[in-house]
Structure 1
Amino acid sequence: MVNVDDRKTTLHSLFYWAQRSPDMVYMTQPYPDGSTTEITWKQAADQVLRMAAHLKSLELPEKSCIGLLGKNSDHWIMADLAIWAAGHVSVPLYPTLNGETAAYVLEHSEAKMMFIGKLDGTADGWNDIKNYIPEDLPLISLPMSPRKDVPQWKDITAKTEPLKEPHLPHPSELATLVYTSGSTGRPKGVMHSFETMISVAEGLKQIFPVDQNDRMLSYLPLAHVAERAAVQTSSLYFGFQLFFANSLDTFQEDLQRARPTIFFSVPRLWMKFYLAICDKLPPKKQKILFRIPILNSLIKRKILKQLGLNHVRAAITGAAPLAPEIIHWYRNIGLELLEVYGMSENFGYSHANRPGEAKVGTVGVANPGVEHRIAEGDELQVKSPGQMIGFFKNEEKTKEEVTEDGFLKTGDMAEVDSEGYVRITGRVKDLFKTAKGKYVVPVPIESKFTHPKVEVVCVAGANQPQPCALVTLSEEAQAEVDRGGDKTEIENGIAEELDVVNAKVEDHEKLAFAVVVKEPWTMENGMLTPTMKIKRNVIEDHYKDKLPKWYDQKKKVIWEE
């Protein structure tokens, strides 16, 4: 086994734990047939070294980019590590990409080969992507890959001896290209070194007490820095056990298996959990039951257990704003939800609320080693140990987004209070003007809209007299409508919510109406990014021709026909 004494990169960390805790289970992987497999640190290191030996035998040019396409799995992480152990650079591709974008990433990164992992063509883009993979690109299939006609991971590792002297990278070396999920334009290849990647774990140990006894569930796309930093990098650095989700249908079962002690999610999913509970126990009933002393704690414990979060001691939300009301709701049931902030360009290492010191409505204070400032137009600028090397093959864009003195222009508008807590107030590019020439910042208005039957909100209305809200219903509420249920209750509820929101905003920000749209917004139809943020420009463009007619109707709540 490779002998290392430190954890200065994620690859060093793998061998560090393989030496110290060889028989401890590192990863637990569920399969579609209901079975699960466990892999220890020693086994993971062995697999990585065998695949690295194979990659070396291919004699690819030094520091070749190697694609990694698939949903989260134990083999996804091992493939990432094997690429590094062979001295190459990993290029993750989102499993929900369309074929054209996947082709662009492979071409732009000059990928010399690609691993294909867990995909089935139902909740991912495989059926489109498969038509765009260059015929001459060498492929290797991980378990659960749809390609059975190419070399398979299991066969390769069974017949290949482990690499005796893997490449142990210097922290400053290029490790990966992270192509931004991007709410606009072509994805950019963010270059991260091993040093920028490990900075998130180095900083985390000063904020949260994390150790080998912790457990996490991996289910958000590993191709995004949020999951790669919070879950992959942290598990390798701290040596704790990692569990994977099988599918959306088995998510609750997967959560119950993992019993996570640290849980990271995005606002869309925190909202879905909240809506699911509200569907079974309406908010009015909650208020009554939460006032009864003995029932109060029993019900709250039951809710957390039902969610599979009853073992969680650090619950984290990030990637987009979450309404303060929802954060308060979780805190009220006993889950200290902590909002954090980061970007692809700084490997998610920027700001965080600390346990016991959180200020709801803020993204917390600067992480250890991070500097921030408010620049022209209220833009937040950040200098972080996790900051990228730059954009791959795009020096001009790097110069555009990083100041001469090394601060990243985040594109987020923010304010900082006297204690250093940062409140994100919107995106610089999301600002739009009404017909009266007044500026509207959509995000703060959207975060005030928290009706239990509404899942996602997009505030639109550029060049219109007043802004409006486009909303999608929760799955339960939509199913009720599809079954021919009475829309009146939902409509009245949304109308009341409009009044509540409008009472909290400036006159020029008051919403003229809300439109309940027919089509759900998903990653597959391009309305959401892989971290479930709305693609505002795509949504606005999709509905722009209908907006004038909706304004003419002069109704408070409109159902898209």
Structure 2
Amino acid sequence: MAHLFLSRVEATPDREAYRYPVPAADGAHGTEPWRSLTWAQTAERVKAIAAGLLALGVRPEERVAISSSTRVEWILADLGVMCAGAAATAVYPSTNADETVYILSDSGSRAIFVENATQLAKVVAHVERLPELGHAILFDPQAELPQVEGLEVLSLGELEKRGLVYLEEHPDAIEETVRAIEPEQLATLIYTSGTTGRPKGVRLVHDCWSYQAVAQEAGGLLRSEDVQFLWLPLSHVFGKALISGQIRTGHVMAVDGRVDRIITNLPAVRPTLMASAPRIFEKVYNGIAGKARAEGGAKYKIFLWAAKVARDYARAGQESMAATGRRSVPLSLVVQHAIADRLVYGKIRAAFGGNLRASVSGSAALAPDIGYFFSGAGVHVLEGYGLTETSAGCIVNPADDYRVGTVGKPLPGTEVRIAEDGEILLRGPGVMRGYHNLAEKTAEVLESDGWLHTGDIGEMDKDGFVRITDRKKDVFKTSGGKYVAPTEIEGRFKAVCPFVSNILVIGNGRNFCSALITLDETVIMPWAASHDLGGRSYAEVVSSPQVHELIDGFVQRVNGDLQRWQTIKKFSVLSRDLDIEHGELTPSLKVKRPVVEREYAEVIEGMYDGSREA
């Protein structure tokens, strides 16, 4: 990747590389100006950071951690680490102090870039447990630099100044260091945000990222003229892979990780490409549906009609493309779609900036009905699939022939095999080289001939499109001996219930299925205000008989399309949503099932008290 970066700079030095906002000093949420860096300007800063790390004594493959939200400095630091021949250890800023210290210790990190005083405090409080960590570099220029015994704390600007002094004495240091980097040299350690136990450090080498860069371009995902909006966490493998592809094509990347600014930023950036998690599209859909319902009358009827037309239009087009290789939609549907486009869809596209060519969605499944809705509205959501262990996406839907409900086709160079038990196996250059310091864990998932056991169950059709049906470990068997794939049921519920935030289907070893449900506060509270529940708190609203009756209607609607043993017999609406702070969600917003089931064990048992075989 360091080679690719310097080649990109040489090829297009004066083209815009990165765009980033300048937040107001008082934190106000008005319109913010955006600044840019050309590739040449980016290289100046990256080389200064790389040289600064060399001046601190960092050597090839030694680890340098980054604990920060997504911002342009994260990218500069990461590229600086790679151009110094070192390896970056990614740490989620939401990770608590104990786990942060564990990751720094397990990785043997020599230095750490931290976003602000909050991230620094996690390290300072436990510095005695980190004898190998010698330096902390602060991104925030306003933060104080404390004196800490055994740890040098300096600003990013100070590190760059040291780097410039180092380059005066060793002007070719960066080019020489980069030339010495081998494809199999460690580039990144990303610790899995697993649902159980301590996270495992995934060893990703330079060739993993180089493969991602080439495969994304070859697969048609990226174009040199794109403007991509990046808000995903760069501590997550998905975000990191996007940077690799951007370096390959040289397109513009607008960077701002503040989730509460996404809606504001989209019209300002007007991206042609954006990557996201399904939760964002679910929230957007729920918000649109909730607003239409609140307006009531003709507007709500128009929305329901337009939503059905969008789904029918998208489904017809994709089915004809799959059958004949040509997109064909009945004329009557074309006419309805044109009317709905003027009334509804144009406003939806405008909310995404008006220029969005495609959005890549990963990390979890998107409910097909939501996928068809956005497809029909002209917001093309390309679902993909990958793991931390595969340096992110290795299967992605092609932009010119994507199929809702699948995760697409393997990227060039990736092989897919479906095992006898349905597990998806992957092999290719993007696959990790093992777990850090965990040879036995590595052997459990990585075969000697390179095949990686993903732990996901799926199938591949005759055209090479892959569909994920569930996590192997999540599929459970009821006491009646029937297998249930909870993800499928959860996806169906999210597609029909615009109020849902999270749902967890329970039933392993039980005589029927139940569910824990949380509701989206921004959608349920306006509904409550118009149904005689105004003035009550969120907890009071979701525990009310009116809300239970409302959600029961959606449960019964889903149950009507399920086998008897799959149906949700009982459910509980929780008094608050699941979150990262309580350890119920991973930083990439996946539900930690074991944690939630432990936390709400009493609620779950209450749903099964006195139950008989169903």
TM-score (norm 1): 0.90
| Match 1:172 to one of 181, 184, 191 | 184
| Separation in 2, partners of 1:543, 1:80 | 40
The residue identity in structure 2 corresponding to 1:17 is: R
Q: What is residue 6 of structure 1 aligned with on the other side?
A: none
Write out aligned runs for 1:33-432 (5 A): 33=24, 34-117=32-115, 119=116, 131-134=125-128, 137=133, 138-143=135-140, 146=143, 148-149=145-146, 150-158=153-161, 160-161=163-164, 162=167, 164-166=172-174, 167-168=177-178, 169-208=181-220, 210-229=222-241, 231-245=242-256, 247-282=258-293, 284-288=301-305, 295-298=339-342, 299-306=344-351, 308-432=352-476
1:116 and 1:142 in contact (8 A); partners too: yes
Write out aligned runs for 1:414-493 (5 A): 414-450=458-494, 451-480=497-526, 483-484=535-536, 490-493=547-550
Distance 1:444 1:227, change over 3 A: same
Distance 1:80 1:447, change over 3 A: same
1:75 and 1:143 in contact (8 A); partners too: no
Distance 1:126 1:528, change over 3 A: farther
Distance 1:323 1:309, change over 3 A: farther
Structure 1 residue 120, shift from structure 2 partner: 7.2
Structure 1 residue 139, shift from structure 2 partner: 0.6
The residue identity in structure 2 corresponding to 1:473 is: L
Partner SS state of residue 151, structure 1 = strand
| Separation in 1, partners of 2:126, 2:525 | 35
Partner SS state of residue 193, structure 2 = coil
| Separation in 2, partners of 1:126, 1:461 | 43
Provide Cα deviations, 1:130-168, integer angstroms capped at 9, x if missing partner. 634557631111236855332111233245424533121
Write out aligned runs for 1:511-550 (5 A): 511-550=568-607
| Separation in 2, partners of 1:171, 1:333 | 43
Q: What is residue 559 of structure 1 aligned with on the other side?
A: none
The residue identity in structure 2 corresponding to 1:477 is: V
Q: Which has the higher helix share?
A: 2
| Separation in 2, partners of 1:22, 1:210 | 20
Structure 1 residue 329, shift from structure 2 partner: 0.7
Provide Cα deviations, 1:259-302, integer angstroms capped at 9, x if missing partner. 11111111111111111111222364413356766652122111
Listed as ranges, the gaps of 5+ residues in structure 1 are: 1-8, 555-561
Structure 1 residue 376, shift from structure 2 partner: 3.6
| Separation in 1, partners of 2:361, 2:575 | 28
2:233 and 2:257 in contact (8 A); partners too: no
1:65 and 1:88 in contact (8 A); partners too: yes
| Separation in 2, partners of 1:133, 1:145 | 23
Distance 1:388 1:305, change over 3 A: same
Structure 1 residue 463, shift from structure 2 partner: 2.8
Q: What is residue 557 of structure 1 aligned with on the other side?
A: none
How many equivalent pairs are there?
539
| Separation in 1, partners of 2:349, 2:197 | 40
Distance 1:196 1:452, change over 3 A: same
| Separation in 2, partners of 1:258, 1:103 | 37
The residue identity in structure 2 corresponding to 1:513 is: K
Structure 1 residue 25, shift from structure 2 partner: 2.2
Distance 1:157 1:385, change over 3 A: same
Distance 1:534 1:296, change over 3 A: same
| Match 2:3 to one of 12, 15, 20 | 12
| Separation in 1, partners of 2:557, 2:423 | 29
Distance 1:517 1:145, change over 3 A: farther
Partner SS state of residue 272, structure 1 = helix
Q: What is residue 318 of structure 2 aligned with on the other side?
A: none
| Separation in 1, partners of 2:535, 2:468 | 40
Structure 1 residue 437, shift from structure 2 partner: 3.3
Structure 1 residue 409, shift from structure 2 partner: 0.2
| Separation in 2, partners of 1:151, 1:416 | 52
2:203 and 2:432 in contact (8 A); partners too: yes
Structure 1 residue 488, shift from structure 2 partner: 5.7
The residue identity in structure 1 corresponding to 2:282 is: M
| Separation in 2, partners of 1:312, 1:57 | 43
Structure 1 residue 464, shift from structure 2 partner: 2.4
The residue identity in structure 2 corresponding to 1:64 is: E
Backbone CA RMSD of aligned residues: 2.3
Distance 1:459 1:128, change over 3 A: farther
Provide Cα deviations, 1:231-264, integer angstroms capped at 9, x if missing partner. 2111111111111225233222222222111111
Structure 1 residue 489, shift from structure 2 partner: 5.6
2:212 and 2:391 in contact (8 A); partners too: yes
Distance 1:276 1:477, change over 3 A: closer
Partner SS state of residue 253, structure 2 = strand
Structure 1 residue 455, shift from structure 2 partner: 1.6
Structure 1 residue 344, shift from structure 2 partner: 0.7
The residue identity in structure 2 corresponding to 1:25 is: E
Q: Which has the larger radius of gyration?
A: 2
| Separation in 1, partners of 2:485, 2:126 | 39
| Separation in 2, partners of 1:424, 1:175 | 29
Structure 1 residue 505, shift from structure 2 partner: 1.9
Greater mean alpha carbon deviation, residues 536-545 or residues 371-380: 371-380
Q: What is residue 296 of structure 2 aligned with on the other side?
A: none
TM-score (norm 2): 0.83
The residue identity in structure 2 corresponding to 1:387 is: V
| Separation in 2, partners of 1:232, 1:148 | 30
Listed as ranges, the gaps of 5+ residues in structure 2 are: 25-31, 147-152, 294-299, 310-335, 529-533
The residue identity in structure 1 corresponding to 2:172 is: K
| Separation in 2, partners of 1:469, 1:132 | 40
Partner SS state of residue 462, structure 1 = coil
The residue identity in structure 2 corresponding to 1:349 is: G
1:365 and 1:422 in contact (8 A); partners too: yes
